[in-house]
A and B are shown apart, each in its own frame.
Chain A
Amino acid sequence: MTRDEQLRISDISKSFGSTLVLDHVHASVERGEFITLLGPSGCGKTTLLRIIAGLERADEGTIVLDGADLLPLPANRRPLNMVFQNYALFPHLNVFDNVAFGLRIRRIAESEVMTRVRAVLDMIQLAPLAMRRTSQLSGGQKQRVALARALVNEPALLLLDEPMSALDAKLRAEVRVELRQLQRRLGKTFVLVTHDQDEAMTVSDRILVMNGGKIEQAGPPSEVYDHPSTRFVAEFLGAANLIDATRTENGVETCYGPLKLSRGPSWERGTLAIRPERIRVSAGEPAPNRLRLRARDVVYRGDHFDVFLEPGNLRMWCESSNALRAGDEVAIELPPEHLEVLRD
């Protein structure tokens, strides 16, 4: 695939009062990509999205969209649209007029407005509700209207600010899949903001994990999950065991003894991470990084057991079949290829 950069965010900084919310952020988005800004509340993800939308001003930096400088334009002149967290539908207009709003403001001929609004309403299966008041819609329907109202304008970029946070858990899971399918079908660039790692993993081509106003790591979901580069990323996406380590000649020394790694660390003292599901119960054959530990607690979690091991505090998931009990001694392996060397 050839790189076709559509959006370039360079050196964006923003403070509210004395709080630095965005700290020299750089990012690049390709055409047709589904990008997710993932992070805890207060990490600056929403502010970055609002700066792209023109609802907030950046203190420094530039954003280029399709070769043109975006920041000098006011929000109403930017060729992109946004789906708001609480949908922000216009309560005095019905579904059709809500969706038609952007087209009418741009003085598009009414006949074309009709065609385009109908087409979009058909696409998201809302045509029968066109004349309803927005107050008569369910949460899921409102969310679709918000999506239609943005997409009907054929934006170069669609911004989504936690669009599923107001939906219940079951509906959210369905909407995620639909959203992903929709994006594929349209081939449009979507930029989504969320604090929900499952959501990010499900929909994204690439995830930008944000923390403290910076992008900690950017990459496809599998890469970010399997190869976290910082403590924050390792712990924010899924569960992780963090192990303090000191570099030695052929590996590292830890509180579990010497461990072998698939690549040498660049630091003298630092941290390793391993996911609970990557720790194996030893099959008996000799293997690197074999440890004998005791199961302190075994918690039944339905599809797996959560096992806490001592000494130390390693957490391991194992299948229900090889049932362990608290107090059992167990031999485990930390496969070197799954021991991730963290940057910090």
Chain B
Amino acid sequence: MTRAATSHVNGVVTAVGVALLYLPLLAVAVLSFNRSRFGVGWQGFTIDWYARVLHDEVVMRSAWNTLLLAVGSTALSTLLGTMLALGIARYRWPRRIEHALATLIHLPIVTPDIIFAAALVVAFRALRALTGLFELGLETMIIAHVTFQISFVALVVRARLETIGPEIEEAARDLYAGTFDLVTKILLPLIRPGIVAGALLAFTLSLDDFVISFFTSGPDSVTLPIYIFSSLKRGISPEIHAISTIIFTVTAMLAVALQSLTRKCET
């Protein structure tokens, strides 16, 4: 094959790949502006479905729950994940233990959500039996989200910490900094891009999560992904397309922000 032909083939393959990724999403977005309630025939442009979604009390309550859950769990997991990363990277662990800890924070990322979710249900049941608290609801969902978000935050922050050589800290100590000054004046400012990136990632993951939310939610804590899932049983409506399109847009914006931050991190 000539070089030109090869590059054409590459172009086509790329186009097909991107199309596979985005055509379904594009279809949903298009249908969300379709006047037709049933079927896929185009019957004219409308933003009625969006208006209807915004006036639907159940949808809005779900959206509010989703936001509360994402903000609450992100705040907690960012704090805990950063502390975990600092602890792993800066305490003088024996080498083998440090490796083990690094593996331990990777593990939740590759663990299937469904297993995590089932484990959490069991855990909450046990805790409920012991304490009488942990009734399934927004609080248990926040705890559940934090448990998987911590790993992601810790991973991102730890990668950032690793770029800071030990000499920087030694220089700070040599210039009279105690541990508090070292953390607040040197380490935190230097890893801030990592913390923000970790938080954005955690936030996105929480917004999108269905499996873990579904298992740990209560009757009053329906989130948008759960709402969409339950509506699907009654058939797909244009409202669902509208909600999906909004969620996708928000997530995409967060992803773009995350990427530009990561790039800034590298320079």
Interface 1/0s, chain A 60-90, versus B by CB < 8 A?
Answer: 0000000000000011110001101110111
Interface 1/0s, chain B 225-239, versus A by CB < 8 A?
Answer: 000000000000000
Interface size on A, residues (CB 8 A): 24
Interface 1/0s, chain B 144-183, versus A by CB < 8 A?
Answer: 0000000000000000000001011011111111100100
Q: List 19 A-B contacts (CB under 8 A).
A: A53-B170, A54-B173, A55-B173, A74-B173, A76-B173, A81-B174, A81-B175, A82-B170, A84-B167, A84-B170, A84-B171, A85-B167, A90-B171, A90-B172, A91-B168, A101-B172, A105-B176, A105-B177, A153-B176
Interface size on B, residues (CB 8 A): 17
Within 8 A of B (CB), among A120-145: none
Q: Which residues of B contact A53 (CB under 8 A)?
A: 170, 174
| A55:B168 contact, CB within 8 angstroms | no
Q: Which residues of A contact B172 (CB under 8 A)?
A: 90, 101
Which residues in B have some Cβ–Cβ distance to A below 8 Å? Answer: 165, 167-168, 170-178, 181, 185-186, 189-190
Interface 1/0s, chain A 103-133, versus B by CB < 8 A?
Answer: 0011000000000000000000000000000
| B190:A75 contact, CB within 8 angstroms | no
Contacts A84-B167, A86-B167, A105-B181 hold; do A92 and B190 have CB atoms under 8 A apart? yes
| B175:A105 contact, CB within 8 angstroms | yes
| Distance between A183 CB and nearest chain B CB, rounded to angstroms | 19
| Distance between A113 CB and nearest chain B CB, rounded to angstroms | 13
| Distance between A55 CB and nearest chain B CB, rounded to angstroms | 5
Across the interface, B186 reaches (CB within 8 A) one of A90, A102, A106, A150, namely A90
| B178:A76 contact, CB within 8 angstroms | yes
A134 to B206, CA, bound (A): 38
For the complex with contacts A55-B170, A101-B172, 10 further pairs of A-B residues with Cβ separation under 8 Å are A76-B177, A82-B171, A88-B167, A90-B171, A91-B168, A91-B190, A101-B175, A101-B177, A153-B175, A153-B176
Q: Which residues of B contact A149 (CB under 8 A)?
A: 171, 175
| Distance between B96 CB and nearest chain A CB, rounded to angstroms | 15
